[in-house]
């Protein structure tokens, strides 16, 4: 059969015999079910998967960052330098645009600045909390009553907390509080869930905080221990019960009655003084014991932000290389499925092709995965696609598109070819995203991949994309003669 391929890699690059050998060895590695259909194999794997699956997911654990050291900060800077070097190398063999050259020189400047940061003397403190809790009031009082007494250089600012700081930028450590050495997080009584989430996030970013219960004057003295007890209980789940202090930054004014000697009563309104001694003691102690650590931790966070910037540029460049590779394998998968249509979609062939794709993509992302391992990952991915219903869904969607295109003649194997190409594309794009989010790991975590796979799949389910994809595959794979037939049938 004349299969139109831009590059006949099926017989060249991978080689038919290698492909067959792959098919064979994968079949053996999946299960001892020689001769059964791919459907059977997949169903069996699904069963095993269901049995092996953990009963329930453990709640998300908070990563406790070890106490920062100067060495750790230096290591972070070294790792940033490595990423910049990789970026430089990756752009060496392409025509560097002015922008990339500028980016790289800016990154180098940032490394110098970060190295100097290690010895920074001035500290910065940010006061945050939900609107109305008293951050501005506290900031003014700290400036007027505490900072001027302090020999050290300290900058204090206040910022209303925004919940999207923890919901957005899930992985990126970019959050407006990151550049500050210390966070004073203000609440006014019970610690509500979103506030607790905020504190957990700070811990996972390695950012030191003091939790401040402000407006304690609004509680009766005998209510206070109960509130404290409750907050401490919640804090103990993130090992932070020592970080709580209570203050009244601006207590409500009170009516004072004075009994005069002549028996009359004189009433006056008095403004009680702010009560922040608990906080200033804690601050003094913290700055005395941990000032350097605070600076190192901030340097680590800032370095990580710059490293992510560099990594993003590098990922863009790598992606530009990865997409043509994915496309190449797409056409191989389509051609293989078209040339050899079997009643069910030939996932096994896709697995074989994807194994090689994984190896090639891992090389682009410098996370070398060998063919043996690539095969395992490809099998896992095929299982996942099956388990998530992607195979069925995509076949259905593609069938609908083909029908609605009023193509009255569909060559045998067309659906299989398009599905094979489509699933290969999804696998490839998911792997690309997966590799870009990791540094130097030579393995694939299938659970993380699953989330990406689902996301990429739903992104590509858009009708417009699928339609143009169908056309692309048709023009790559359908033999010229058959294509004419399609046109003729339509014209009638």
Contact 201, 238 (CB under 8 A): no
Distance CA 381, CA 403 (A): 29
Determine the longest span between alpha carbons in the chain, in angstroms.
Answer: 118
Q: How far is the CB of 159 from Mg ion (least distance, A)?
A: 9
What's the full length of the chain, in residues? Answer: 492
Instruction: Give the one entry of ligand GDP, Mg ion, none that residue 311 binds, where binding means its C-beta sits below a cut-off of 5 to 8 angstroms depending on kind.
Output: none
Given 36, 69, 82, 136, the residue binding Mg ion (CB under 5 A): 136
- 145 interacts with Mg ion by CB under 5 A: no
In the complex with ligand GDP, which residue's Cβ is closer, 131 or 289?
131
Q: How far is the CB of 149 from ligand GDP (least distance, A)?
A: 21
Instruction: Give the one entry of ligand GDP, Mg ion, none that residue 250 binds, where binding means its C-beta sits below a cut-off of 5 to 8 angstroms depending on kind.
Output: ligand GDP
Which of 157, 78, 176, 120 lies closest to 296, judged by CA?
120
Distance CA 443, CA 370 (A): 10
Look at strands 154-160 and 208-213 and give their pairing. Answer: unpaired
Please name the helix (run of DSSP H) or strand (run of DSSP E) that holds residue 126, with its range, or none.
Answer: strand 123-129
In the complex with Mg ion, which residue's Cβ is closer, 136 or 460?
136
**Number of residues forming the site for Mg ion (CB under 5 A):** 1
Q: How far is the CB of 174 from Mg ion (least distance, A)?
A: 23
172: left (phi over 0), alpha (psi -120 to 50) or beta: beta
Residues 105-134, one symbol each (x = binds ligand GDP by CB under 6 A, - = not), give: ------------------------x-xxxx
- 47 interacts with ligand GDP by CB under 6 A: no
Instruction: Give the one entry of ligand GDP, Mg ion, none that residue 122 binds, where binding means its C-beta sits below a cut-off of 5 to 8 angstroms depending on kind.
Output: none
Distances, alpha carbon 100 to alpha carbons 46, 308, 316, 327, 435, in Å: 46, 15, 11, 26, 22
∠ CA(373), CA(377), CA(383), 5° rounding? Answer: 150
Q: How far is the CB of 61 from Mg ion (least distance, A)?
A: 34
In the complex with Mg ion, which residue's Cβ is closer, 27 or 135?
135
Helices (H) and strands (E) counted in the chain, each on its own, are: 16, 7
- 136 interacts with ligand GDP by CB under 6 A: yes
Residues 190-219, interacting with ligand GDP (CB under 6 A): 214-215, 217-218
- 137 interacts with ligand GDP by CB under 6 A: yes
Instruction: Give the one entry of Mg ion, ligand GDP, none that residue 307 binds, where binding means its C-beta sits below a cut-off of 5 to 8 angstroms depending on kind.
Output: none
Distances, alpha carbon 486 to alpha carbons 11, 139, 375, 468, in Å: 27, 74, 37, 17
Given 86, 208, 246, 250, the residue binding ligand GDP (CB under 6 A): 250
Q: How far is the CB of 158 from ligand GDP (least distance, A)?
A: 6
Stretch that binds ligand GDP, among 245-253, 302-310, 322-330, 383-391 (CB under 6 A): 245-253
Name the β-bridge partners of 248: 275
Please name the helix (run of DSSP H) or strand (run of DSSP E) that holds residue 184, with its range, or none.
Answer: strand 182-187
Which of 245, 193, 195, 249 lies closest to 218, judged by CA?
249
Stretch that binds ligand GDP, among 21-29, 244-252, 341-349, 356-364 (CB under 6 A): 244-252
In the complex with ligand GDP, which residue's Cβ is closer, 47 or 272?
272
In the complex with ligand GDP, which residue's Cβ is closer, 12 or 132?
132
Instruction: Give the residues lining the site for ligand GDP (CB under 6 A).
Output: 129, 131-137, 214-215, 217-218, 248-252
Instruction: Give the residues lining the site for Mg ion (CB under 5 A).
Output: 136
């Amino acid at each position: 059969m004349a299969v139109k391929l831009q590059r006949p890699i099926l017989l060249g690059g991978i080689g038919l015999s290698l492909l067959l050998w792959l098919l064979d060895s994968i079949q053996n590695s999946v299960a001892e079910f020689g001769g059964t259909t791919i459907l059977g194999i997949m169903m069996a794997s699904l069963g095993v998967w269901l049995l092996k699956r953990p009963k329930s997911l453990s709640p998300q654990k908070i990563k406790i960052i070890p106490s920062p050291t100067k060495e750790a900060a230096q290591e972070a800077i070294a790792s940033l330098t490595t990423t910049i070097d990789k970026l430089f190398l990756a752009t060496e063999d392409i025509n560097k645009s002015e922008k990339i050259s500028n980016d790289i020189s800016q990154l180098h400047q940032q490394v110098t600045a970060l190295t100097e940061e290690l010895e920074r003397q001035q500290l910065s403190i940010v006061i945050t909390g939900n609107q109305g809790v008293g951050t501005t009031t506290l900031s003014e009082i700290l400036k007027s009553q505490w900072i001027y007494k302090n020999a050290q250089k300290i900058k204090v600012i206040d910022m209303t907390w925004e919940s999207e700081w923890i919901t957005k930028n899930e992985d990126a450590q970019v959050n407006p509080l990151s550049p500050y050495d210390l966070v004073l997080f203000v609440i006014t009584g019970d610690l509500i869930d979103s506030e607790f989430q905020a504190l957990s996030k700070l811990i996972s970013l390695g950012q030191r905080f003091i939790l401040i219960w402000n407006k304690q004057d609004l509680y009766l003295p005998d209510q206070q221990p109960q509130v404290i007890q409750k907050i401490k209980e919640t804090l103990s789940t993130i090992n932070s019960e020592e970080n709580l202090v209570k203050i009244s930054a601006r207590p409500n004014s009170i009516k004072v009655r004075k009994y005069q000697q002549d028996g009359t009563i004189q009433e006056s309104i008095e403004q009680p003084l702010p009560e922040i001694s608990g906080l200033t003691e804690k601050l003094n102690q913290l700055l005395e014991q941990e000032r350097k650590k605070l600076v190192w931790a901030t340097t680590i966070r800032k370095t990580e932000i710059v490293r992510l910037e560099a990594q993003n540029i590098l990922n863009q460049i790598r992606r530009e290389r990865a997409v043509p590779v994915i496309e190449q394998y797409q056409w191989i998968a389509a051609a293989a499925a078209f040339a050899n249509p079997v009643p069910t979609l030939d996932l096994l062939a896709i697995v074989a092709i994807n194994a090689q794709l994984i190896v090639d993509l891992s090389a682009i992302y410098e996370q070398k995965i060998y063919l043996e391992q690539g095969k395992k990952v490809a099998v896992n991915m095929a299982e996942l696609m099956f388990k998530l219903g992607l195979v069925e869904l995509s076949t259905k969607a593609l069938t609908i598109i083909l029908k609605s295109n009023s193509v009255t003649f569909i060559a045998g194997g067309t659906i299989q070819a398009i599905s094979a190409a489509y699933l290969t594309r999804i696998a490839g794009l998911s792997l690309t995203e997966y590799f870009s989010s990791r540094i130097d790991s030579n393995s694939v975590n299938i659970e993380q991949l699953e989330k990406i796979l689902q996301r990429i799949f739903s992104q590509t389910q858009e009708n417009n994309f699928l339609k143009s994809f169908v056309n692309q595959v048709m023009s790559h794979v359908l033999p010229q003669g058959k294509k004419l037939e399609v046109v003729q049938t339509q014209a009638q």
